[in-house]
Amino acid sequence: MSNFNQTQGYQIIQNWMQEKGHEPFSFQSQTWERYQNNFSGMVVAPTGFGKTFSVFLAVVIDYLNHPDKYKKGLKLIWISPLRSLAKDLAKAMNDAVDEIGLDWAVEVRNGDTATKDRRRQERLMPDVLLTTPETLHLLFSQKKNARWFKNVTCIAVDEWHELLGSKRGVLTEIAISRIRNLSPKLRIWGISATIGNLEEAKEVLIPYDVKTTMIRAKEKKKIKITSLLPDQVEELSWAGHLGKQMSSKIIPIIYENTTTLIFTNTRNQSELWYQIIIDEEPDLIGQIAVHHGSIDKVQRNWIEEAISQGLLKAVVCTSSLDLGVDFKPVDCVIQIGSAKGIARFMQRAGRSGHSPFETSKMYAVPTHSLQLIEVAAVKEAVKQHEIEARQPYVLTYDILVQFLVTLAVGGGFKPEETYAFIKQIHAFHYLTKEEFDWCIHFITQGGNTLKSYEEFHKVVLEEDGFYRVKSRRIAMNHRMNIGVIVSEVILFVKFFSGGYIGMVEEYFISKLNKGDAFVLGGKVLEIQQIKDMTVLVKRSKKKKAITPSWMGGRLPLTSGLTHFLRLKLSDALTPNNRERELKFLYPLLKRQETNSHIPRHDEFLIEMIETKEGFHLFVYPFEGRLVHEIMASLIAYRISQIKKLTFTIAMNDYGFELLSDQEIPLTEENMNAIFSKENLIKDVTASINASEMASRKFRDIAVVAGLVIQTQPGKRKTNKSLQSSSGLLFRVLNDYEPSNLLLKQAYNEVFDYELEKVRLQAAFQRISKSKIILKKASNFTPLSFPLKVDSLRGTMSNEDLSKRIERIQKQALK
Amino acid sequence: MMQNISIISKTIWCNDEVLELTNQRVIYWKAKKSLILSDLHIGKSAHFQKSGIPIPKNVLTRDLERLKQLILHFKAENLIIVGDLFHAEYNSDLDEFKTWRIQFSNLSIQLIKGNHDRFSNSIYEQFQIEVFKKDLVLNCLKFVHDFVTPSTDYFTISGHTHPGVFIKGKGKQHIKLPCFQVTNTQLILPAFSLFTGLNTRNAPKNCKNYCFTNDGIFEI
């Protein structure tokens, strides 16, 4: 260490920091030294402790010490998942560079960058480029792009934990390998928050034969979690109906703090809670805003700016504000409903009290009583530092196909060389030569059928041995489709008099007629006209309006959280003194224990209840909605092998319900066989419509691989004669070309991600070791009640629902 | 070679005419020894291929093979196509259609032009196709591509919309099937080509849906 401390570069930085009254954290100086010694690696630190400067200043110090080793042009590429982060980061970096007295240019390039700036960058790249994985791939599709990357010495990937578990992670892995191929001495550095599989995360980012290191900050963020308790506990927990009575408890918290972020889980919920809060406290109008992914970008930027300046008391938001720039005034966070995961919960809590050593303050507001157990579980997990792992994607042929075409558009590629560097990427470690050849065949001939498609010339092999795209139109279409984020068909919402409000899905708007009112961005709007993928609206005076639902809102509980949930429930009747959630829930838990049973950690509870409606079977694996969906159809399938029955299925994050009009033949004798782990995957495959699920997965794959052309919101539908749905393509390929690798990928993704095969197997493994408890109850129990309510919700409108719930509740309590 | 398809039909009355709806996406009109169909979209797969989207070529081959079996089965002498015979530009798919056409030199084809049919007359002449710009009236039936206004004098037969029906079952099960949509005054044909999507919205008021599968046709 001492030698490094003597270097000129280190001295300059040390002095610069001292002038500002700072001292480097030890993880920062450790990073700087390791970087200088040619390491690649990963920095793990909580937000607010200057992890950006750990890697950025490492490159600066190395440059100051060895300026002769650096050539003109791009030196550092900084990849971050969010566009909005880039602008502020660039400003911080530029300030640092100026104050240190370095003549570096730090610039941003992403979808928001103006054309003239892009052209300028293409003539002369800045020294530091802040960008996104997609924009990097777009650069690869430019002519003669190799010249930009020859002298890059470092790629830094910010918020790597966010990219890791998504297909954007694979885009990042590919980009790194491609640049490393052009600049072999490249150092690769990731910056991550704590996740359950840090070693694997590092391995995925840097699978190469280079020196690597992991640097963990010793500094810890303090988090204080408080749950807001309703006035009294309902012995039967209402599902999602605590809203109104909780709003009166939220208002004082908003007033007590400078700025509060209120997190909800869906965009629909955020609109609803915005209404609930301003109904409760009209004085807050003008000081409270709603922020989510479907609100117009300009308005979102305005809101973010207003938070930074402390102009807002509160913002109701979704995961849209999970990441992003630090908002200094935010000193309190409220989570409404379940955060569904430990990592997300901590991430959100961390949005408050941003500066080092400040405590993050988080209030948890349950939307039904049982969620209080979840809060207790999260607290326990945070205490034990148990955070979920993120599973990296592998063998994503769709992205490979897209990347090969990207290379073919950007000056061409030679297959041997490309195969060699693709093979090094973690995601394609197990890619065979045959599969690679299939991908080449797919983009040159169109597939693997015996008949070649004589009109298909997407990519052509030229005499010099390079594969290239010759058609300008194909190149243009491809550039527009680069990336892996696939959205529903989206329409812009715009005032008739001008001014954008946001976006809605075509699916939602297709159910409305002219004159109907809906809520967006906290405004009540009336549909005037729909034209060219744009909904024209005016303000409405109507009191009643529909809140749009956006697809994909319902996340399941993570396995990390469900584990702690089972533990908490197990000893829920004997809480320790500090667990006020469990103490509060005592009457409800007591009722569950009396009327049925509370499953201990080595038990597995099944309840059978007979009502006027029919015969109910309630099962509580506590594994999250997705796993329950699969389990429910599996168990229904196995029971129907004994006796032919029709079931109605309902599920939530705690369990599932099978409802039948006839008695369900489940007994103490056969229950072990029905919940057996034997023949699991075989029975699952038989019980679900794998083909239909694969068809859904294929939607994204088809877009990424360039089979379906996406229409941009606000644009007129172009290429009308080329419109086809992925469902149709899926059917056609299934019928005519079943060996297609993209189809295979769709089926694989169903089993690995949709079915969560590993998690399902682990669940049955656990059940096989547990004692199965079968209880017959005469009426709904506290655990079964939310499930019952959820299944009612599907069929009825909200008004009738609360009355109906009340009635059932009364009957059950008799 | 494709296996023999199973042809199952259901007879309905439209004004005074007897029409046989089949599960193979065509209507047989015995009185005129005609097959009535819509939306073949010949050239669609090649058009996609030209734009760099690989669609299996045998999509067209199987469509044409199916049409051949239908013609032989009903001993049809005439085809009435209510539009969208061709999808886009002249491409290799049309060569395949040309070869197919030669084996039925005695078959007459009448086409009511659809929004996709944009070739000059000489091309239709090449294929021995009689073209009608707007509509064709035979007995009390009026053939058009897209149904616009109801007619009191005729029973209208159209295509264009690729109708389908959404059938909901218990336990959140659902299925989408292609169908014929029939009211007292009109009938909408399903698209003949298998490489077409389904439109389950915008059904005419009070319509009966005759949907079908590979081995049956039934009313919903």
Average pLDDT along chain B, 220 residues, taken 10 residues at a time: 81 90 95 95 87 81 93 95 90 90 93 88 91 92 86 88 78 72 93 88 85 84
Region of residue A394 (phi > 0: left; psi between -120 and 50: alpha; otherwise: beta): beta
Domain limits of chain B?
Answer: 9-219
Residue A44 lies in a domain: yes
Say whether both A125 and A234 belong to one domain.
Answer: no
Categorize the per-residue pLDDT at A550 as very low, low, confident or very high, splitting at 50, 70 and 90. Answer: low
Lowest mean pLDDT among A524-533, A607-616, B179-188: A524-533
In whole angstroms, what is the distance from residue A171 CA to residue A161 CA?
14
Q: Which of B5, B50, B61, B214 to mutate: most A Cβ within 10 Å?
A: B50
* Of A451, A474, A728, Cβ closest to residue B52: A474
| Cβ–Cβ < 8 Å for A645, A639 | yes
Task: State whether B52 and A737 contact (CB < 8 Å).
Answer: no
Instruction: Say whether the ipTM exceeds 0.85.
Output: no
> What is the amino acid identity at position B137?
V
Q: What is the pLDDT of residue B1?
A: 53
Q: What is the pLDDT of residue A541?
A: 81
**Rounded mean pLDDT of A724-732?**
80
Chain B residue numbers with beta carbons less than 8 Å from the beta carbon of A457 are: 50, 52
**Rounded mean pLDDT of A35-46?**
94
Q: Which of A722, A790, A795 to mutate: most B Cβ within 10 Å?
A: A722
A47-56, A167-176, A278-287: range with highest mean pLDDT: A167-176
Task: State whether B197 and A724 contact (CB < 8 Å).
Answer: yes
Q: How many CB pairs under 8 A join A and B?
A: 82
Angstroms from B193 CA to nearest CA on chain A: 11
Q: What number of other Cβ atoms are within 10 A of residue B124's Cβ?
A: 18
CATH architecture of the domain formed by B9-219 = 4-Layer Sandwich (3.60)
Give the up-direction half-sphere exposure of residue A608: CA atoms within 13 A in the CB hemisphere: 14
Token pair listed for A270: 């955020």
The number of distinct structural domains making up chain A is 5
Task: State whether A455 and B171 contact (CB < 8 Å).
Answer: no
Say whether both A31 and A113 belong to one domain.
Answer: yes
> What is the amino acid identity at position B80?
I
- Contacts of residue A605, defined as CB under 8 A and 6 or more positions apart, other chains included, come to A596, A597, A598, A599, A619, A620, A773, A775, A783
- Exposure string (b/e) for A731-751, b if CB count within 10 Å is 16 or more? bbbbebbeebbbbbbbebbbb
In whole angstroms, what is the distance from residue A809 CA to residue A789 CA?
10
Q: What is the mean pLDDT of chain A?
A: 86
**Could you tell me how many residues make up chain A?**
814
DSSP string for A244-297: HHHHHHHHHHHHHSSEEEEE-SSHHHHHHHHHHHHHH-GGGBTTEEEE-TTB-H
Say whether both A245 and A260 belong to one domain.
Answer: yes
Say whether both A178 and A324 belong to one domain.
Answer: no
Task: State whether A510 and B47 contact (CB < 8 Å).
Answer: no
A198-207, A312-321, A481-490: range with highest mean pLDDT: A198-207
| Cβ–Cβ < 8 Å for A783, A621 | no
A351-360, A458-467, A472-481, A746-755: range with highest mean pLDDT: A458-467
| Cβ–Cβ < 8 Å for A332, A307 | no
Chain A residue numbers with beta carbons less than 8 Å from the beta carbon of B65 are: none
Q: Which of B45, B51, B95 to mutate: most A Cβ within 10 Å?
A: B51
Task: State whether A706 and B52 contact (CB < 8 Å).
Answer: yes
Lowest mean pLDDT among A83-87, A344-348, A376-380, A401-405: A83-87
**Last residue of a domain, which of A384, A416, A439?**
A384
Say whether both A779 and A664 belong to one domain.
Answer: yes
CATH number of the domain residue A142 falls in: 3.40.50.300
Residue A428 lies in a domain: yes
Lowest mean pLDDT among A156-160, A610-614, B199-203: B199-203
Lowest mean pLDDT among A350-364, A413-427, A451-465: A451-465
Q: Which residue of A has its CA nearest to B88?
A: A721
DSSP string for A322-350: TSSS--TTEEEEEEES---SHHHHHHHHT
Residue A499 lies in a domain: yes
- Contacts of residue A454, defined as CB under 8 A and 6 or more positions apart, other chains included, come to B92
- Could you tell me the end-to-end alpha-carbon distance of chain A, in angstroms, rounded to an integer? 74
Task: State whether B51 and A722 contact (CB < 8 Å).
Answer: yes
Chain A residues with a Cβ under 8 Å from any Cβ in chain B: 442, 445-447, 449, 451, 453-458, 471, 473-474, 477-478, 510, 646-649, 706-707, 709, 719, 721-722, 724-725, 727-729, 732-733, 735-737, 794
Say whether both A295 and A243 belong to one domain.
Answer: yes
* Percentage, residues of chain A above pLDDT 70: 90
Chain B residue numbers with beta carbons less than 8 Å from the beta carbon of A721 are: 47, 87-88, 116
Task: State whether B54 and A471 contact (CB < 8 Å).
Answer: no
Chain B residue numbers with beta carbons less than 8 Å from the beta carbon of A709 are: 53
**Rounded mean pLDDT of A185-214?**
95
Lowest mean pLDDT among A673-682, A728-737, B38-47: A728-737
pLDDT above 60: residue A293? yes
Chain A residue numbers with beta carbons less than 8 Å from the beta carbon of B172 are: 649, 794
Task: State whether A449 and B58 contact (CB < 8 Å).
Answer: yes
In whole angstroms, what is the distance from residue A195 CA to residue A201 CA?
9
- Contacts of residue A539, defined as CB under 8 A and 6 or more positions apart, other chains included, come to A495, A523, A524, A525, A526
Q: What is the pLDDT of residue A35?
A: 96
**Last residue of a domain, which of A360, A384, A408?**
A384
Angstroms from B38 CA to nearest CA on chain A: 17
Residue A562 lies in a domain: no
Residue A581 lies in a domain: no
Q: Which residue of A has its CA nearest to B51?
A: A474
Place of tokens 């791009």: A74
**Cα B29 from chain centre:** 13
Q: What is the pLDDT of residue A505?
A: 75
Bridge partner residues of A531 (DSSP): A534
**Rounded mean pLDDT of A606-620?**
91
Q: Can you list the pairs that A135-139 forms with residues at least 24 positions away whose Cβ atoms lie under 8 Å?
A: A135/A109, A135/A110, A135/A111, A136/A77, A136/A79, A136/A171, A136/A175, A137/A171, A137/A174, A137/A175, A137/A403, A137/A406, A137/A482, A137/A483, A138/A479, A138/A482, A139/A109
Say whether both A364 and A497 belong to one domain.
Answer: no
Place of tokens 């084809």: B109
**Rounded mean pLDDT of A754-775?**
89
Angstroms from B25 CA to nearest CA on chain A: 17
Task: State whether A455 and B49 contact (CB < 8 Å).
Answer: yes
Task: State whether A455 and B88 contact (CB < 8 Å).
Answer: no
Residue A583 lies in a domain: no
**Cα B100 from chain centre:** 17
Lowest mean pLDDT among A401-410, A476-485, B11-20: A476-485
Q: Which of A450, A455, A617 to mutate: most B Cβ within 10 Å?
A: A455
Higher pLDDT, A85 or A455: A85
Say whether both A233 and A207 belong to one domain.
Answer: no
pLDDT above 50: residue A796? no
Angstroms from A791 CA to nearest CA on chain B: 11
Angstroms from B12 CA to nearest CA on chain A: 30
Chain B residue numbers with beta carbons less than 8 Å from the beta carbon of A470 are: none
Categorize the per-residue pLDDT at A549 as very low, low, confident or very high, splitting at 50, 70 and 90. Answer: low
SS3 of chain B: CCCCCCCCEEEEEECCEEEEEECCCCEEEHHHCEEEECCCCECHHHHHHHCCCCCCCHHHHHHHHHHHHHHHHHCCCEEEECCCCECCCCCHHHHHHHHHHHCCCCCEEEEECCCCCCCCHHHHHHCCEEEECCEEEECCEEEECCCCCCCCCCEEEECCCCEEEEEECCCCCEEEEEEEEECCCEEECCCCCCCCCCECCCCCCCCEEEEEECCEEEEC
Task: State whether B51 and A719 contact (CB < 8 Å).
Answer: yes
Say whether both A661 and A706 belong to one domain.
Answer: no
Bridge partner residues of A215 (DSSP): A43
Chain A residue numbers with beta carbons less than 8 Å from the beta carbon of B160 are: none
| Cβ–Cβ < 8 Å for A393, A170 | yes
Question: Using CB atoms within 10 A of its CB, is residue A328 exposed (0-12), middle (13-18) or buried (19+)?
Answer: middle
Q: What is the pLDDT of residue B182?
A: 93
* Total-model pTM: 0.82
The closest alpha carbon to A62, from A158, A127, A149, A148, belongs to A127
**Rounded mean pLDDT of A43-72?**
91
**Rounded mean pLDDT of A382-402?**
90
Q: What is the pLDDT of residue A12?
A: 94
* Of B50, B87, B196, Cβ closest to residue A455: B50
Categorize the per-residue pLDDT at A795 as very low, low, confident or very high, splitting at 50, 70 and 90. Answer: very low
In this structure, are strands A330-336 and A359-365 parallel, antiparallel, or unpaired?
parallel
Q: What is the pLDDT of residue A271?
A: 87
Higher pLDDT, A222 or A43: A43
pLDDT above 60: residue A277? yes
Residue A715 lies in a domain: yes
Task: State whether B52 and A732 contact (CB < 8 Å).
Answer: no
User: 3-class DSSP state for residue A548?
Assistant: coil
Say whether both A235 and A367 belong to one domain.
Answer: yes
Q: What number of other Cβ atoms are within 10 A of residue B54's Cβ?
A: 27
| Cβ–Cβ < 8 Å for A89, A80 | yes
Residue A578 lies in a domain: no
Say whether both A463 and A521 belong to one domain.
Answer: no
Chain A residue numbers with beta carbons less than 8 Å from the beta carbon of B50 are: 455-457
| Cβ–Cβ < 8 Å for B79, B107 | yes
- Exposure string (b/e) for A93-130, b if CB count within 10 Å is 16 or more? beebbeebebebebbbbbeebeeeeeeebeeebbbbbb
> What is the amino acid identity at position A491?
L
Alpha helices in A386-464 (DSSP H): 397-409, 415-423, 433-444
Q: What is the pLDDT of residue A797?
A: 37
Task: State whether B54 and A458 contact (CB < 8 Å).
Answer: yes
Task: State whether B171 and A648 contact (CB < 8 Å).
Answer: yes
Q: Which residue of A has its CA nearest to B116?
A: A721
Task: State whether B56 and A737 contact (CB < 8 Å).
Answer: yes
Give the up-direction half-sphere exposure of residue A338: CA atoms within 13 A in the CB hemisphere: 29
**Rounded mean pLDDT of A630-652?**
86
Token pair listed for A256: 């007590």
Chain B residues with a Cβ under 8 Å from any Cβ in chain A: 46-59, 62, 87-88, 91-92, 116, 170-172, 194-197, 201
Task: State whether B51 and A449 contact (CB < 8 Å).
Answer: no
Task: State whether B48 and A724 contact (CB < 8 Å).
Answer: yes
* Of B52, B56, B58, Cβ closest to residue A458: B52
Angstroms from B55 CA to nearest CA on chain A: 7
**Last residue of a domain, which of A330, A349, A384?**
A384
Higher pLDDT, A541 or A108: A108
pLDDT above 90: residue A203? yes
Domain range for A286? 222-384
Angstroms from A404 CA to nearest CA on chain B: 13
Say whether both A528 and A611 belong to one domain.
Answer: no
Token pair listed for A554: 């319902």
Element (H, E) at A606: strand A603-611
